[in-house]
Amino acid sequence: EAGVAQSPRYKIIEKRQSVAFWCNPISGHATLYWYQQILGQGPKLLIQFQNNGVVDDSQLPKDRFSAERLKGVDSTLKIQPAKLEDSAVYLCASSPLRGASTDTQYFGPGTRLTVL
Amino acid sequence: GQQLNQSPQSMFIQEGEDVSMNCTSSSIFNTWLWYKQDPGEGPVLLIALYKAGELTSNGRLTAQFGITRKDSFLNISASIPSDVGIYFCAGDDSWGKLQFGAGTQVVVTP
């Protein structure tokens, strides 16, 4: 079974530029998550989708971050405009069911973003 | 929001030694999880704990869900070189919303 796919793996941009990340979850997984992992910290949840609907985006900085999962499968996360403090690894995860606490989340390899 | 305190921040151990790390929270969690992250990869689930007082093993790994539901620990017995990595605790308060600790970096020397 293929894992969670993410692209690109690395991205370097200048501040105030825009950037987009793509995630393809494990086939059939209903719930998709985007996390931000700053160097030296644990992942922090940005947004959770169930199918194509948003379950939780309380920690998403909505003035500059946006995410969509239009067909309930793959997802994109966008930052516009980027700030220096957005430098981090952006992890995508998926889980089979409806995001219950007993539902295992499978993580992709992440996209490492550097903002100069 | 809830804060997870994970300790120690890093550990340098010799191959064959046991490793212990723990995580405490200011509030209650319904589920405690332990993940391992290798460089350039996403976290991988090691052990999941669903009930206060639960003690669960996965090979050389043993984890416990504290009876107060505010803490958990992970033990690794007889460490080997491939145990190197960053170990994260995570608490789930409801519906899969995980909060992670800052991680414990484990370095194993021969």
Q: A100: pLDDT confidence band, cut at 50, 70 and 90?
A: low
pLDDT score of B100: 95
The C-alpha of B104 sits at a distance from chain A's nearest C-alpha, in angstroms, of 10
Mutate to test the interface with A, among B3, B29, B97, B105 (most CBs of A within 10 A): B97
- Cα–Cα distance, A93 to A23 (Å, whole number): 9
pLDDT score of A99: 58
**Contact: A102, B48; criterion CB under 8 Å:** yes
The C-alpha of B53 sits at a distance from chain A's nearest C-alpha, in angstroms, of 17
Residues of chain A neighbouring B94 (CB-CB closer than 8 A): 101
Q: Which of B40, B50, B96 sits opposite A109 (nearest CB)?
A: B40
Mean pLDDT of each 10-residue bin along chain B, 110 residues long: 84 95 93 95 94 95 95 97 96 82 94
Q: A101: pLDDT confidence band, cut at 50, 70 and 90?
A: low
Checking if the pLDDT of A109 tops 60, the result is yes
**pLDDT digits over A87-97, tens only?**
999 999 999 87
Task: Report whether A49 contacts A69 (CB < 8 A).
Answer: yes
- Cα–Cα distance, A34 to A43 (Å, whole number): 9
DSSP B23-90: EEESS--SEEEEEEE-TTS--EEEEEE-STT-EEEETTEEEEE-TTSSEEEEEE-S--GGG-EEEEEE
**Contact: B96, A100; criterion CB under 8 Å:** yes
pLDDT score of A59: 93
Residues of A with CB under 8 A from a CB of B: 4, 31, 33, 40-45, 48, 55-56, 91, 93, 95, 98-110
Mean pLDDT rounded to a whole number for chain A: 93
Checking if the pLDDT of A23 tops 80, the result is yes
**Contact: B4, A42; criterion CB under 8 Å:** yes
**pLDDT digits over A43-85, tens only?**
999 999 998 899 999 999 999 999 999 888 999 999 999 999 9
